[in-house]
Structure formats: C-alpha cells, structure tokens
Amino acid sequence: MSNTEMSSSNYYTTLEVAKILGMAVRSVQLMVDRGDLQAWKTPGGHRRITRESLERWIQGSRAGVTGVASFTGHTGEIRGPGRRRAIVHVPRVLLIEDSSHFQNLVTMLVKQKFPAVDLHVANDGISGLVSFGHLQPDLIIVDILLPGIDGATMITGLRRHALFGNCKLIVLTSLDEDQRAPYAFALQGADVVHKPKLVSELPALIDKALGHLFAPAVSADEGADEALAADVEAAEAE
C-alpha cells in the first residue's frame, strides 16, 4: 500500500498513541520496535501507527490483566494481621511482575490475608503502565527488573502521572542492597521487599499501604482467629 492510499484517520503519531495510553513517547517507540504495534515511517522518518494494531493491543492488554477477585459493592470486611475491619472502599491492587512463580506467590498471600482486595496482574512494564491508567489502583506492587521497560523507568514515569499521587507503591526485588544502588532514584520513598523475604514482609506492607481505606480496627476474638485459620487452610487446599 502506498502512503497516498493511507487514510490519516486510520493512523496515529507516536505522540497521539502516548497520550491515548498515558505513556512516554519513548515507550511507544519501544512497542513499535519490538512489534507490539504496527507502524510505517514517513519520508521524514516519523512513525505512523495503525489504528487496528493499537486497538488490538489495547484489547489484548486488558485481557492479559487478570483479576483474582471481583466485587459488586464497596462494603464488607477485611482481615488484617490480628484484627477485623470494615471496608470503606474495595482496595484495588496492581501487581506488575513477569515471574509466574512470584505472581502466584503474591496472589496466594493476598487471597489468604486480604480476601476482599481486588488484585490485578500485568506481565511487563508496558502492560503495567496501560493497566495503571485503566484501573487507577490504590496500590502498585512492582518488580524493579522487568522486560520491555524496566521497573525503575516505569516507576519514574508513574510518578509523573497525575493519578499517582493517590497511589501507594511497594517494590519487589531479588537484588541485595548493594546491587540496588543504580536504581536508587526509583526506590526513593518506596517500601522495598527483598524477594527471599516476601512471604514474611509483604503482608504487613500491604496492610500499611491500604490501611487508610479501612474503618478503625476492632479486636479479633477467638472465633475470628479460627475463621481466619480456616480461610487460610481452604486457600492452600485449592
């Protein structure tokens, strides 16, 4: 197909796509380079991205973001460590993690300890950026090392997003403290969980991040503790 046969309404510039997806222009360029979006170049070297490939990618990214819980209301009860609290807003959490092992591990922890949380999973940084715009989560849990666009770059981009001010951040990493030095700019002010300690440390940080969405805690009685133990046992048996 020649350029003259192409209708401009069927194509976007990288800037237009960046605005649609809430991304940086460079992220869109990377998506084109790795084949996620179909594009051609003008004689001046500018990319023109097909509407069809953009719509297909958006539909695919939405399908790839998996919620492990769904709710019809905004009231209920959540069990945190040692207490039961009424929900004043169903917390929405976005996990951005490429490892299926850690996806499953975080999902299991959330289902056991925070069963009312609406958890969604994105497999890479670019999908995570798009999911953030769609979901507007209360908490993002992100691996610092991701394919496509690394977690540090993504975090920097998110912090410039108008909606990020209402969102909490927890960073997961397999890097020890010395290895994290190159990512210090992205980790500043964020809670960081070393993956070997994920099971012991992540639940308390989730509780800390989402506590403002819950009504004041009430003491858990023996029956509540038994109910929580039963829930955990049932979840592990699934």
SS (H, E, C) 168-184: EEEEEECCCCHHHHHHH
Instruction: Average the pLDDT over 110-122 and give the result.
Output: 89
The full length of the chain comes to 238
pTM score > 0.75 for this model? no
CA 158 vs CA 15, 37, 83, 135, 153: distances in Å? 17, 22, 33, 13, 9
- Say if residue 220's pLDDT is above 50: no
Render pLDDT for 67-79 as a digit per residue (tens, 0 to 9): 433 333 333 444 5
* CB contact set of 159 (below 8 Å; sequence gap of 6+): none
| pLDDT classification of 202: cutoffs 50, 70, 90 | very high
pLDDT on residue 63: 55
Render pLDDT for 6-61 as a digit per residue (tens, 0 to 9): 345 788 998 888 887 767 777 788 788 878 889 988 888 888 999 888 888 777 66
Q: Which domains does the chain have, with CATH numbers?
A: 3-63 (1.10.1660.10), 66-237 (3.40.50.2300)
